[in-house]
Amino acid sequence: MTKSKLTTLTEQKNAAQLATLSRESVKWLMGKISNIKKTSNIASSISREEDRFTARGKFMRGGLYYFYYDPKTKSDLPYYDRFPLVLILEKYPDGFLGLNLHYLPLNYRIVFLAKLMQFASYTEDHEIKRLRVTYDILAASKRMKEFKPCIKQYLHGHVRSKILAVHPDEWDVAAFLPVQQFKKANAAKVWKESMEEIRNS
């Protein structure tokens, strides 16, 4: 099976021994991703990597996931993301609450992710397992205003694919990949309105 751009870039980053979210890593990633000319096939290639599949409803709070989504209220929404990148905050019987990082411009995504790393939970081998962060923590923080345009609620019945796990050592690469699939508005409009919401909060 052909590896996705997410897997390939992560392997290259690890081979280069770049620290996650370090200034050197960010500069390296920006250089790599700026050379990507065709982004339309990246999402579909990620969705074909079977080792990423997570059973619906079995994903972990504080984990990062991709999936295809068709909102129940899409006719009433000004725009929406068909292929969100979501950090799970809360789980419900019929769905979940999460942060879709795609609602932030690329440079703001990586800054916000760096802030979120203070909530990281580690394994015995000192590897990141998940983020122990909740909606209440974000809402109470003056430093986390970036969360406001990202907070979204999703229904299991409107997920249109397998849930695709993003491994912790891939989080920075995933945050940079331009795989958002906004409908009813282009990315520039979405990001402009997101920044306005952050500034006015």
67-78 pLDDT tens trace = 999 999 999 999
pLDDT at 105 over 90: yes
Residue that has been written with the tokens 């990620």 in this structure:
46
Note the pTM of the prediction, 2 decimals.
0.94
Query: What proportion of the chain, given as a percentage, has pLDDT over 70?
Result: 97
Tell me what the mean pLDDT of segment 119-123 comes to.
95
Report pLDDT digits (tens) over 137-189.
999 999 999 999 999 999 999 999 999 999 999 999 999 999 999 999 999 99
Task: Place 54 in a pLDDT band, splitting at 50, 70 and 90.
Answer: confident
Query: Any alpha helices (H) in 5-87, and if so which ranges?
Result: 5-15, 23-33, 42-47
Report pLDDT digits (tens) over 173-184.
999 999 999 999
13: closest CA among 164, 175, 126, 129? 175
Q: In this structure, what are the phi and psi dihedrals at residue 51, rounded to the nearest 5 degrees?
A: -70, -5
The mean pLDDT of the chain is 93
- Per-residue pLDDT, 57: 60
- Per-residue pLDDT, 143: 94
Q: Based on the number of CB atoms within 10 Å of its own CB, is 190 exposed (0-12), middle (13-18) or buried (19 or more)?
A: buried
3-state DSSP assignment of residue 131: strand
Task: Place 34 in a pLDDT band, splitting at 50, 70 and 90.
Answer: confident
Task: Place 56 in a pLDDT band, splitting at 50, 70 and 90.
Answer: low
- Per-residue pLDDT, 36: 77
Task: Place 39 in a pLDDT band, splitting at 50, 70 and 90.
Answer: low
